[in-house]
Amino acid sequence: MEALRIHIERIVRPIRAGGRRKNKMREELLAHLERRCEDDMARGTTQQQAQDFAMTQLGDPEALRNDLQATVPFLERMLFVKLPFATLDSWFDRSHDESAIHFVLVRTICMTMFAVLLIALLFVIDHGPALVSGFAGEHEWHDLPTQCSSLLLMPCLIGLGAFIAHVLVEVTGLRRNLSKMHSAGLFLRVISLNAFIGVQLLIIVFGGLFVEYLTAPPRVAAVTLYALGSVARILIPAVVFSFVVGMPFTAWVMVKEHERYEKWGRLKIDE
């Protein structure tokens, strides 16, 4: 019945939806096709004929895929849009043909750009309304160039933090060991991957804070500390929550799903 699985996988795999929903579709369609085959074989057709007939009766794969896609809620569809760059897993797994320098630089640049966006957002939230409405005090206009320069300094520090974190990970062989953990238990792998992300975020935030505290003049340091503190205020509860609740739960769900649907993931289909 491998042919049936491949046929279903061709339909379901490209659908933009969560794993649970897609697994439901897979299992249900497979149960349907197997039952159809059993009925036809009971009437005397060969297994091959029964499989071909069952797949034909299911209808045009592309039309069915579109119909199934349309049943996925909008928000879920958006969450699973295929991004032009790597998925989270490959983000932390360097491919064989990628050099360590390229790996570290690309991720550092991405982290820096992310920091620029985040800090710009924080700046707009803190000062935007006052500046736009014209109610900004004299000192706010006066401080603006200083604040902007210190805010621009922060992405550089965060980028430096990301760079150091990635270099450390490369030098210590932590990433290489994580990649090897494919053979280890999935639970352990998910936990380690999450821990790796969490530790990296903490290194970036506290590394940036420390470097800034040591080097910057007091006034710039105060503004930078404030903005980094804002990032940390969001980041630290998120990381703690992820460690305590999110990570064990995610790992448990992934292990359960993986056990049941391992075979589907291994199927080779022409996408």
Least CB distance from residue 78 to other proteins, whole Å? 17
CB 269 to other proteins: min, Å = 17
Residues 6+ apart with CB under 8 A from 203: 161, 164, 165, 168
SS3 state of residue 85 = coil
Binding region for other proteins (CB under 8 A) = 11, 24-25, 27-32, 34-36, 57-60, 63-64, 67-68, 70-71, 73
Q: Rounded to the nearest whole angstrom, what is the least distance from the CB of residue 6 to other proteins in the complex?
A: 15
User: Which stretches within 216-246 are classed as H helix?
Assistant: 218-241
70/214 with CB nearer other proteins: 70
Give the integer Cα–Cα distance in Å for 268 and 180. Answer: 22
Q: Which is nearer to other proteins, 73 or 265 (CB)?
A: 73
**Is the distance from CB of 47 to CB of 56 less than 8 angstroms?**
no
Residue 55 or 178 with smaller CB distance to other proteins:
55
Q: How far is the CB of 240 from other proteins (least distance, A)?
A: 35
Q: Look up residue 86 and give its two tokens.
A: 């790597």
- d(CA 7, CA 12) in angstroms, rounded, equals 9
Q: Which is nearer to other proteins, 63 or 244 (CB)?
A: 63
